[in-house]
Amino acid sequence: MNTTASEAVDLLNTLKQLLKNVEEVDVAVCPPFPYLSLISKILEGSRILLGAQNMHHEAKGAYTGEVSPAMLKDVGCDFVILGHSERRHIFGETDETIHQKIQSALEFGLRPILCIGETLDDREADRTATVVTRQLKGCLNGFSRQDMERITLAYEPVWAIGTGRTATPEQAEEVHRLTRVWIERQFDREAADTIRIQYGGSVKPGNARQLLEQPDIDGALVGGASLDAESFAAIVQAAIA
């Protein structure tokens, strides 16, 4: 919940310039709902894709204050972030709710970015694997091998979001590896090899390369650093490197 309209425009125009020659990696931005249509127009002709930060699972109806997948598709969104830890822990979203949203996103041609991750209490009690596995089961139950080709996973340890703390590359890799093994067991080796698993948790230019060098970390779900075009572009360059 950041930026004014003019700040969003300035941010994206600068980002477009900084990334105009980038072809090696995929880049998407997920601005607040009020600016999606505005940013969609700014991104025309660029390789930067558009996503939203959340959505309701119904296509339309009497859900005052909510935004539907049909609306997101209509303004040019490719992606939608679902199950972000703040949606879970502040707004009480459950794995069942998130499952409904993923299903709806896929039906409307959106590519979900499913967030998973444990709290500090979970990690200190050695429950990380249990929590992450439960979230994967609850959110992905019943989806097909073909569905998985359109889903991106994002591991975001709750204790490393907005705190300045970051999981070490080894800690992050351990959970990414666990996640990939789970995908292989539920689907097949090809699904596990091809699915993108991003890391999200205070990713910055200074730690991006160490994180992205890990064999099972395929990208970054960037938080605060995405509000500064130079910092975000530096993370993209780290991914390329």
Q: How far, in Å, CA of 162 to CA of 109, rounded?
A: 31
Q: In Å, how far are 30, 101, 135, 204, 231 from 84, measured between CA atoms?
A: 13, 12, 12, 19, 22
What residue type is assigned to position 137 of the chain? K
Q: State the catalytic residue, choosing from 84, 93, 118, 173.
A: 84
156 classed as catalytic: yes
- Is there a catalytic annotation at residue 176? no
φ, ψ for residue 121, nearest 5 deg: -60, -40
Options 56, 57, 118, 156, the catalytic residue: 156
- Which residues are the active-site residues? 84, 156
